[in-house]
């Protein structure tokens, strides 16, 4: 009996069951591995002795699946075979024109599918902070094998930290070689389970429907491993998958319910979009009264079309929703919303980890130059700074590259490749830097400088001035400002300060505001009076001494 079958029989999530096996010394097993009768007997005895402890009650959630893969490898055809619909015939030119969402029932369980027109949409939703997909089904044609967009799909799925199930499609075609595809996948650390790895691979045919049931079984198995759940008491939250304007329906958005339940009459708010839900329509065109967890529905009644990745929440007051949406729209018009910080070679690093990375997406003109530049960049690693190659490929920089760079804090390096005005504009909007080169040594020089910039800087603290607090003033919109006399040196705005009281340091902060009479100034010299607003140092009192320090970087 296989691991997942035995786990199912014992009513234990496969992920937990594998942990139990490991603890009991039965290692090297994966969900498709076989268990001997002795192993099953050993685990059975162990579980009879132990009683499971009750955990937090969560509502089981249906898995959300996204199909990714190279163009014309049969993503939509495979979904068509699964759904028993004629979606492919309705698509222009046989290529998916927009994101579609659908759901099926299989073995008394529901599976939700998102059919994307490319990796751009998948990553664009992540750029908005929306993690929509639970599992990526990587579709690879058995006769074509791993192609450039297949590699992109792998990189995007990994960047999203989403598990991958491989569907090797078109096994009915002449020249189909599923084993060759599996062999190639090992180069990307996607080793099939039957070869001792952790990747589920299923051979299928969208045309003959061979292997479809097996694929669905494996999707449900992977979903069980993830132990998907949601708190039923949480308020509604949904994410936009697509949006459009219909002549009859008006503006509508396809929303996936991520938390709570969405009902007709609910008032929704999402950025500058608001509205009262007038209708909920599922993928079959049926009108619903409510949409539960993991259900994709068209929402009618919103003021505008939502963009992929837009988060919607429920609000009780319709007037309040309108006011909030108008406020956001007004701020956008005035340009007062904080813009995304530009990601450049000088600024990009992962500050949350001890081990830092310079994230790079590399595009070159030929396979030879790709290997040469890639090997060179990897050779530039030093100390705890590493060059992390998020994606590399041949050809022009495209939308997929820009969206991946945006979500993963990466720069794009192009070697002997063009960047279209459209992509250049998109990169600027997303705050992504694209650097183009024709000489490999220039890449080396720039990346070396970037790595140097990633090293932790050493600063020298220098006392530059002292000021005595003689009075505390309350100024509208600013707060408490210390009226001071500069005793020594000078006081500089934005410098660090220490607050001295009774010869002891009672707080440290930074000069946020520096005034001379009613004027904002950058510097005050010794012998002059000024107003100082200190942030982060706690309350400043009369007679305190403010010591001003300048931090000089040591090269």
The pLDDT tens digits of the residues spanning 156-175 come to 888 888 899 999 999 999 99
Same domain, 514 and 406: no
Within a domain: 29: yes
Cα 119 to Cα 124: distance, rounded to the nearest angstrom: 8
* pLDDT bucket at 459, cuts 50 / 70 / 90: low
CATH, residue 388 = 3.40.50.10050
**How far from 458 is each of 358, 497, 553, 554, CA to CA, in Å?**
20, 19, 6, 5
CATH, residue 499 = 2.40.30.10
* pLDDT bucket at 301, cuts 50 / 70 / 90: very high
The pLDDT of residue 277 is: 95
Reduced to 3 states (helix: H, G, I; strand: E, B; else coil), residue 398 is coil
Same domain, 200 and 275: no
CATH, residue 63 = 3.40.50.300
Q: 177-191, 381-395, 474-488, 498-512: which range is least confident on average?
A: 381-395
Within a domain: 220: yes
Same domain, 221 and 243: no
Same domain, 102 and 171: yes
Same domain, 145 and 202: yes
Bridge-based pairing state of the strands 523-525 and 237-246: unpaired
Give tens-digit pLDDT for 376-402. Answer: 888 787 666 778 888 888 888 988 899
Give tens-digit pLDDT for 86-106. Answer: 455 454 445 443 436 888 889
The pLDDT of residue 244 is: 75
Give tens-digit pLDDT for 358-373. Answer: 889 999 887 667 877 8
Q: What are the tokens at 551?
A: 């931090």
Same domain, 505 and 392: no
Same domain, 373 and 506: no
Range of the structural domain that residue 493 is part of? 459-554
Same domain, 245 and 222: no
**What share of the chain has pLDDT > 70, as a percent?**
76
Q: Are 321 and 303 in contact (CB under 8 A)?
A: no
Q: 178-182, 184-188, 451-455: which range is least confident on average?
A: 451-455
- C-alpha angle 334/336/337, rounded to 5°? 120
**Domain tally for the chain?**
5
**What share of the chain has pLDDT > 90, as a percent?**
29
Q: Where are the alpha helices (DSSP H) in 195-264?
A: 212-226
Q: Are 183 and 202 in contact (CB under 8 A)?
A: no
The pLDDT of residue 29 is: 55
């Amino acid at each position: 009996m296989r691991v997942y079958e035995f786990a199912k029989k014992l009513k234990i999530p496969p992920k937990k069951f594998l942990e139990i096996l490991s603890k009991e010394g039965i290692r090297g097993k994966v969900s498709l591995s076989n268990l001997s009768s002795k192993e099953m007997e050993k685990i059975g005895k162990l579980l009879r002795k132990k009683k499971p402890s009750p955990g937090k009650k969560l509502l089981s959630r249906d898995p959300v699946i996204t199909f990714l893969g190279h163009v014309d490898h049969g993503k939509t055809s495979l979904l068509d075979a699964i759904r028993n619909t004629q979606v492919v015939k309705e698509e222009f030119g046989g290529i998916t024109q927009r994101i579609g969402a659908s759901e099926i029932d299989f073995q008394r369980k529901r599976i939700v599918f998102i059919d994307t027109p490319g990796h751009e949409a998948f990553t664009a939703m992540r750029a908005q902070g929306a993690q929509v997909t639970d599992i990526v089904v990587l579709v690879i044609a058995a006769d074509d094998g791993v192609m450039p967009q297949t590699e992109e799909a792998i990189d995007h799925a990994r960047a999203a930290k989403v598990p991958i199930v491989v569907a090797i499609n078109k096994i009915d075609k002449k020249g189909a070689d599923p084993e060759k595809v599996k062999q190639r996948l090992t180069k990307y650390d996607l080793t099939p389970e039957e070869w001792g790895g952790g990747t589920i691979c299923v051979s299928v045919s969208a045309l003959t429907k061979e292997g479809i049931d097996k694929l669905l079984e494996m999707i449900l198995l992977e979903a069980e491993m993830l132990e998907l759940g949601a708190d039923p008491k949480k308020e509604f939250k949904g994410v936009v998958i697509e949006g459009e304007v219909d002549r009859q329906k008006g503006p509508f958005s396809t929303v996936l319910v991520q938390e709570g339940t969405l009902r007709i009459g609910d008032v929704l708010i999402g950025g500058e979009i608001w509205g009262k839900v007038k209708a909920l329509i599922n993928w079959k065109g049926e009108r619903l009264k409510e949409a539960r967890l993991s259900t994709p529905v068209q929402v009618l009644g919103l003021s505008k079309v939502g963009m992929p990745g837009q988060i919607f929440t429920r609000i009780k007051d319709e007037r309040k929703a309108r006011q909030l949406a108008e406020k956001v729209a007004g701020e956008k018009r005035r340009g007062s919303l904080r813009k995304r910080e530009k990601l450049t070679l000088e600024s990009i690093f992962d500050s949350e980890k001890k081990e830092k990375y310079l994230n790079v997406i590399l595009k070159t003109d030929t396979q030879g130059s790709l290997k040469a530049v890639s090997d060179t960049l990897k050779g530039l690693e030093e100390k705890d700074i590493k060059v992390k190659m998020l994606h590399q490929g041949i050809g022009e920089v495209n939308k997929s590259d820009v969206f991946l760079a945006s979500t993963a804090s990466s720069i794009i390096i192009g070697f002997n490749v063009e960047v279209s005005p459209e992509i250049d504009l998109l990169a600027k909007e997303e705050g992504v830097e694209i650097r183009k080169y024709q000489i490999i040594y220039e890449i080396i020089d720039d990346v070396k400088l970037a790595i140097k910039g990633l090293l932790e800087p050493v600063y020298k603290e220098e006392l530059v001035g002292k000021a005595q607090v003689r009075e505390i003033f309350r100024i509208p919109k600013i707060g408490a400002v210390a009226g001071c006399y500069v005793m020594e040196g000078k006081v500089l705005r934005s410098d660090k300060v220490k607050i001295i009281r009774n010869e002891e340091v009672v707080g440290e902060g930074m000069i946020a505001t520096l005034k001379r009479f009613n004027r904002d100034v950058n510097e005050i010299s010794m012998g002059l009076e000024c107003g100082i607003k200190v942030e982060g140092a706690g309350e400043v009192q009369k007679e305190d001494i403010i010591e001003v320090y300048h931090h000089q970087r040591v090269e």
